[in-house]
Structure 1
């Protein structure tokens, strides 16, 4: 979701009007963010990158417009369906997808095309500057921050690394590293345990009703904020939705309206994102197997399985081999409806 302009004047004016959630907002001490299409514009960014690459294939590699369009759309569809493969590295898997997407006479170009696509992808997936400032203000205001994202471990941790987001967060949870994924309440409780906060003191922010919002309700978090992926999603009727968001945001920046503390802190000094690092007082951005204790917020021994199995799950974090993955359930690339 692209950042929209939300001027200081608008923020100041909006703060004069109280909302029905003021009392609950005052009790919030931690924010849980979804990653894709909430913090970073995954779907829109991937579409922009693939359109730009189609132009590159025409101008640099002399493909016809039809061939370039077919190859790039075929790749994007395959990539969204299965962004990772347990049997090989990310680079090898994506190069394979490019080779399969190109016509026979162009398959030899896959090794050259892949790195160009990767560079374009992360250019368009960058966190909008306004969102970066929001995260910085949240930190300065004393809120604990976590990312809770579904998806394959390697692919999600690559985003964290290449987009330099780790330094803004106290905790980052990727579902493939753990025995559960959103909307299972245990993944939210895991963040609560790590940050030493109660569920009712936390707010979940995400674009998916069926994972982010439902999960927030199942875990009995204090608030759920819904950031619809697009105007079509935003206009959908919620009458038949079992787990409705407490608040719908047209832009992530509307968070300022509900948390005046964010406007009260001094504006952070702009700095390149790659310089954002954890301070000595900040908790680690990942959970080790030793953090899980018997006094978890909710009893979940049956869900977790044996401690050895859980340690093996944790060993997969950030670049290790992954357990078998069901490619049909990958929130990481939102593998569902349209190609572009």
Structure 2
């Protein structure tokens, strides 16, 4: 790829190992709150429900507070676990508080960032909550790789809304054709970037999505070395 000056990365599920860190967070909370549910059974229900609620949040159909409450309430109800609103609120609060204490990264993250940093300007565009995403970057030790951190809360819209990509382009003073977006969401990252003329790289380690032939897809972050 020629003419590329800026690389935007998604954070959760792309660089920061959300699934592993989230599991460890719930493990800590269950112990502290004496929640007797089997963690694996809980996660089996929680993970797809959480994705559904994040899609609604991304589409501006629910607020942040509703996402945090409903994703837990629905899981407890599904598993027939009697959880009071007070407990749900506490779990929700603790989850946000503890999540950034666990900082496993996706395999290859440090190696690919160290490889790219001398050659390109690196940035983050994330739909995650502002107060949590900055902590994740700092505590995982990767904050210094990035020049610009763009969160959906700071801009007021979420990927794939073109406003968040236009905001990032303006901040780095670049044309779309001189940028790449790397992310794990076909809707938010790939199509959002492509609609603005930004070259997307789709990180799909589990090969779960069917993509257009002209969308560059990688199974490992280190595959980026083949193109940049």
1:169 deviates by 0.5
Shift in alpha-carbon separation, 1:76–1:158, aligned structure 2, 3 A:
farther
CA contact (8 A) 1:186 1:219 kept: no
Spell out, residue by residue over 1:148-207, the C-alpha distance to the aligned partner (whole angstroms, 9 max, x if none): 112333333343343343211110111121143222223222222222222101111111
Partner of 2:208: 232
In structure 2, the gaps of 5 or more residues are: 58-62
Partner of 1:195: 172
Partner of 1:257: 226
Q: Report SS of the residue matched to 1:145.
A: strand
1:248 deviates by 0.5
TM-score by length of 1: 0.49
CA contact (8 A) 2:190 2:202 kept: yes
CA contact (8 A) 2:111 2:222 kept: no
Shift in alpha-carbon separation, 1:71–1:255, aligned structure 2, 3 A:
closer
Shift in alpha-carbon separation, 1:63–1:204, aligned structure 2, 3 A:
closer
Partner of 2:104: 126
CA contact (8 A) 1:144 1:169 kept: yes
Aligned pairs (5 A) from 1:85-164? 103=82, 122-123=101-102, 125-128=103-106, 130-141=108-119, 143-164=120-141
Q: Distance in 2 between matches of 1:160 and 1:47?
A: 18
Higher helix fraction: Structure 1 or Structure 2?
2
Corresponding residue pairs, total: 209
Q: Report SS of the residue matched to 1:203.
A: strand
Spell out, residue by residue over 1:262-288, the C-alpha distance to the aligned partner (whole angstroms, 9 max, x if none): xxxxxxxxxxxxxxxxxxxxxxxxxxx
Shift in alpha-carbon separation, 1:195–1:120, aligned structure 2, 3 A:
closer
In structure 1, the gaps of 5 or more residues are: 1-24, 88-92, 260-340
TM-score by length of 2: 0.70
Higher strand fraction: Structure 1 or Structure 2?
2
Shift in alpha-carbon separation, 1:27–1:85, aligned structure 2, 3 A:
closer
The CA RMSD measured in Å over matched residues stands at 4.0
Spell out, residue by residue over 1:301-339, the C-alpha distance to the aligned partner (whole angstroms, 9 max, x if none): xxxxxxxxxxxxxxxxxxxxxxxxxxxxxxxxxxxxxxx
Partner of 2:153: 176
Q: Distance in 1 between matches of 2:178 and 2:162?
A: 15
Pair member with larger Rg? 1
CA contact (8 A) 1:71 1:103 kept: no
1:214 deviates by 0.8
CA contact (8 A) 2:205 2:220 kept: no
Q: Report SS of the residue matched to 1:27.
A: coil
